[in-house]
């Protein structure tokens, strides 16, 4: 697992599902400076992570974790549904109170 505080590269979350499958999640946070531009860049990085993860282990379940309510992330997520299906990953939308909504 990567150390995000040190900006270390790697999978942000490595877990095992209840069914025993490998789960890798790329997590992006709240954009600060130039919020819309930064969110688009981070979203693109998360998509590239999905490509790399799929190449590394075709059987792993994949996901992107994003803060719920960030309009740029929500809009981009809805626009790439075809890629989400083709690559086979899920979005994990995390609310301010810590609740996670899987899409």
Please give the model's pTM, rounded to 2 decimal places.
0.88
DSSP per residue, 22-64: EEEEEE-----TTHHHHHHHHHHHHHHHHHHHHHH-TTSEEEE
Residue 5 has a pLDDT of 63
Q: pLDDT tens-digit profile of 24-75?
A: 999 999 988 888 999 999 999 999 999 999 999 999 999 999 999 999 999 9
> How many CB atoms sit inside 10 A of residue 68's CB?
17
Quick one: pLDDT at residue 58? Answer: 94
Q: Which domain covers residue 8, as residue numbers?
A: 4-102
pLDDT exceeds 60 at position 4: no
How are strands ordered across the β-sheet holding 22-27? Answer: 13-16, 22-27, 61-67, 89-94, 100-102
The answer to whether 91 and 47 are in contact (CB under 8 A) is no
Number of domains into which the chain is organized: 1
- Cα separation, 76 vs 103, whole angstroms: 14
The per-residue pLDDT for range 74-96, each reduced to its tens digit, is: 999 999 999 999 999 999 999 99
- The CATH number assigned to the domain holding 61 equals 3.40.50
């Amino acid at each position: 697992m990567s150390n995000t505080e040190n900006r270390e590269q790697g999978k942000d979350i490595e877990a095992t599902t209840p069914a025993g499958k490998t789960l890798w999640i790329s997590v992006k946070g709240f954009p600060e400076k130039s919020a819309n531009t930064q969110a688009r860049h981070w979203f693109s990085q998360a998509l590239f992570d999905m490509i790399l993860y799929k190449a590394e282990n075709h059987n792993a379940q994949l996901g992107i974790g994003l803060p719920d309510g960030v309009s740029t992330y929500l809009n981009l997520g809805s626009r790439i549904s075809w890629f989400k299906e083709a690559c086979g990953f899920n979005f994990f939308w995390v609310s301010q109170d810590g609740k996670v909504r899987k899409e």
